[in-house]
Structure 1
Amino acid sequence: MSSNPLSALRDDDAPGTRLSAEGLVLAGRRRVRRRRNAIVGTAFALVLVLTAGVAAVAGTRPAARPAIPDPPVPTASPTAACTVDLLPVPDGRELLAPVVDPTGHWAAARLSDRNGAVIWHDGVIDAVYTDIDIIALHGISAKGAAVATATVDGRLRAITLRRDYKVVLTLPQGASAQSVTYGMGINAGGDVVGYYDPADGNRRPILWRFKEPLAPVLLATPGNQEGGALSIADDGRVGGFLGAIDNSPKPYLWGADGTGRQLPLADRQADGTVGAIAGSWAADLGNSVRWRLDEPAIATRVEVSQAAAVGLAGDGTMLYGGARSAVLWGVGSPRRLALPPGYSSYLTGTISADGRVAAGAARQPKNNGGGAPFLWHCTG
């Protein structure tokens, strides 16, 4: 196994941080709940003022349209075209919900105790890691390389994992020993994005190209503002946020050439991020918002009762997961995904680019940790 050749130069403990990799989506969801509670107790006139103010900050006033109402949960089974296949688990270990690659052939999941990860190819275990403290695992390429954030020599670092190697991704040139990195997204070809937290606290979006792993690129931001990258498409487009993640970030999109633009916010939305890109679509998973990028990018909120958005397919279908419900919602009616037989609840992972493979982890009652990983295979 290889490692970052600069790792021996960085032996100091990482500085404290208020933000974890998994906390990005969770923070967005907490902000959504707080805003909903505030709207209920606030006068209608004040809501109008705030909405106008948000549009002014965004720079593009979105079309006035209400949030799409929660879809009715179909009473007839919508899962006839989907099968549930449990994934093999080493030594009966519990895992969190897997991530799947754009093709649906690869999957990876973190052990619930954080001490490793498992990678599968076509439902067969391909690699098992039990010797690394993985904070969060966010994606896997079509070549079977998973991207994660892990504790390495006392610091949070972006890493990639495959059967035949484990790599700590290179820090930018001139980075101090106190700097940390977060691995947040990977595309089919193995390009990785995340963000770089230097000692001065000016967080920056970062890109590690598969063909140039020792030359990470800091993506440009207007006025050298801080920001971060969370997702990357196969054509090189990068999604993320501008500003501080814990202080009203704005959804931001970088083209393959590095030029960037802010995406509009949905009505009554104060902040957001671009957590997923697939095909001609992008999504703010924390706020259940999506944009169609090959048209004027109007933000559309697509919410599902008691479920949160966790994934995006190339045709705009979004995957939602709750403790007892998982829903696929594209341009037609929502479809509920069934639990594996014998389980009471589950965690929901991500979805393949063609929308045919989604992932989850089934849990028994009173189990607050991980569970048994599985895949939904859908034919239509």
Structure 2
Amino acid sequence: MTKHPNDDDRYAVALLRPLASEPSGPARLDVSRAMADGRRRRRSRWWAGGTAVVALTATTAAGGTLAFSAIGRPSPKPPVTIATPTPSVTAAAPPAGPKNCKVTRLPTDGAKKALVTAGDPSGHWLVGRTYPQGPSRPFVVWKDGKLVATGETSGEDQSLEDINSKGVAVGYSFDPGVRPYSYRNGKVTAMAGGEAVPTAINDAGVVVGAVGPLYEGRPVRWKSVTAEPDRLPVPAGTEYGTATDIDEDGTILGTVSAKNKEATGYLWLADGSTRRMPLPVVDGVKSTMFWPAAIRNGVVVGRSVTDAGDSRTFAYFRYRLDTGRYERLPEGSGDPARVAANGWVLGEAQRPVVTTDKGVTTMLPKYAKAKGRQDYLVSSFSDDGKVVGGYAIGDDIQNQPLMWRCN
């Protein structure tokens, strides 16, 4: 798995929140989850005030320290290199957006703290992990909002990273290095590849991820959960890379990074060709990088990164493979995390936000039973845009696993 460009900043959060919540049993640090939480918590605060300015500190790949600010984007006329979606004269108008959304806490068999780490395209399956008293950190499987399975693997800090519509999940644990495994019908099976991280599985059972030490791997594809991993081709000069998501047609989304460079988006297409994702032009300036988040039905969502001196700015996009063009997401859409087959985008802001193809944004309801300020992280979005999985992180450290259902 390629080290995310913001991982150094995320380490600070990792050292605080998970450790503070584990008074019983030996000290444990869920590195990958805590770093992701830290990045997303910081992102949600950028959007809490619309155009907030946030000071950040990150360690560059070359080893230096860079201070920069994330600034809410202005809204001038977009450059011609970025497409603005227009209604089709032949297609029926899509729904205005999700309606009558309700949020519920997922059952956790008594555990007060839990995460939702992934879900399937149908909206039936969600997976995660609970934090009961003691050292155990079992993974959990929900179907239609009901807890249907719990389990553990060898090693520590097990995490299910994705599940498909057939209920087959993939994940990893540390034993002591990172080790891949699959789960189906109550059975956990080690996957081939040695030190490796599977990150996504499609309904055909094809798995993608990376082999090698955590954050220092190379992108791979497993043809099935029982197959050996095949290395994916990368551009000359690539030092690290990872495959992060896979579409139903076999198109793979990921990132590659050259030596002393941060990662940027890369595509392995279903026809066998490959290409680096183009860099969008934002307000007349070509971006430095593009960080993709997810792919579905030929649509990629993510954010552009533009470095200028000691500042760094972000803009949020939907990218269509069939046209090769970017569409800038509207104000209030949040940092894109997932995309549905209908083209809707699920973003993280003050609360989860759904953005339709027409740019209509709908903020999902907060979980009213949670106390104090909550940050909301999302990890699953159904193909019809009606089911969302995620969790809330509050000041009381008791993460709440949540499911939103809409009409």
Q: Taking structure 1 as the reference length, what is the TM-score of the superposition? A: 0.72
Query: Which residue is 2:174 aligned to?
Result: 151
Query: Which residue is 1:222 aligned to?
Result: 235
Structure 1 residue 144, shift from structure 2 partner: 1.3
Query: Which residue is 1:133 aligned to?
Result: 156
CA distance in 1, matches of 2:113, 2:334: 22
Please tell me whether the aligned partners of residues 149 and 156 of structure 1 are also in contact (alpha carbons under 8 angstroms).
yes
- Decide which of 142, 157, 169 is 2:165's aligned counterpart: 142
CA distance in 2, matches of 1:140, 1:280: 19
Are the structure 2 counterparts of residues 304 and 189 from structure 1 closer, same or farther at C-alpha, using a change threshold of 3 Å? farther
Query: Which residue is 2:198 aligned to?
Result: 183
Are the structure 2 counterparts of residues 26 and 127 from structure 1 closer, same or farther at C-alpha, using a change threshold of 3 Å? same
Secondary structure in 2 matching 1:243: strand
Please tell me whether the aligned partners of residues 241 and 252 of structure 1 are also in contact (alpha carbons under 8 angstroms).
yes
CA distance in 2, matches of 1:63, 1:245: 33
Query: Which residue is 2:300 aligned to?
Result: 282
Query: Are 1:370 and 2:406 matched, yes or no?
Result: no
- Decide which of 321, 331, 343 is 1:293's aligned counterpart: 321
Q: Alpha-carbon deviations, 1:11-46, whole Å to 9, x = none? A: xxxxxx989655579779989976994587xxxxxx
Amino acid of the structure 2 residue aligned with 1:243? S
Query: Are 1:166 and 2:194 matched, yes or no?
Result: no
Query: Which residue is 2:100 aligned to?
Result: 81
Give the percent of matched residue pairs that are identical in Structure 1 and Structure 2.
Answer: 25
Secondary structure in 1 matching 2:391: strand
Secondary structure in 1 matching 2:236: helix
Query: Are 1:91 and 2:91 matched, yes or no?
Result: no
- Decide which of 118, 121, 134 is 2:143's aligned counterpart: 121
Are the structure 2 counterparts of residues 321 and 250 from structure 1 closer, same or farther at C-alpha, using a change threshold of 3 Å? closer
- Decide which of 215, 226, 231 is 1:213's aligned counterpart: 226
CA distance in 2, matches of 1:329, 1:317: 6
Are the structure 2 counterparts of residues 222 and 120 from structure 1 closer, same or farther at C-alpha, using a change threshold of 3 Å? same
Query: Are 1:360 and 2:390 matched, yes or no?
Result: yes
Query: Are 1:260 and 2:271 matched, yes or no?
Result: no
Amino acid of the structure 2 residue aligned with 1:370? N
Please tell me whether the aligned partners of residues 119 and 381 of structure 2 are also in contact (alpha carbons under 8 angstroms).
yes
Q: Taking structure 2 as the reference length, what is the TM-score of the superposition? A: 0.67
CA distance in 2, matches of 1:300, 1:245: 30
Aligned length: 319
Are the structure 2 counterparts of residues 95 and 158 from structure 1 closer, same or farther at C-alpha, using a change threshold of 3 Å? same
CA distance in 2, matches of 1:165, 1:218: 27
Query: Are 1:329 and 2:355 matched, yes or no?
Result: yes
Amino acid of the structure 2 residue aligned with 1:353? D
CA distance in 2, matches of 1:141, 1:300: 28
Q: RMSD value over aligned CA atoms? A: 3.7
Please tell me whether the aligned partners of residues 185 and 192 of structure 1 are also in contact (alpha carbons under 8 angstroms).
yes
Give 5+ residue unaligned stretches, structure 2.
1-6, 12-30, 47-53, 57-65, 72-78, 86-96, 305-313
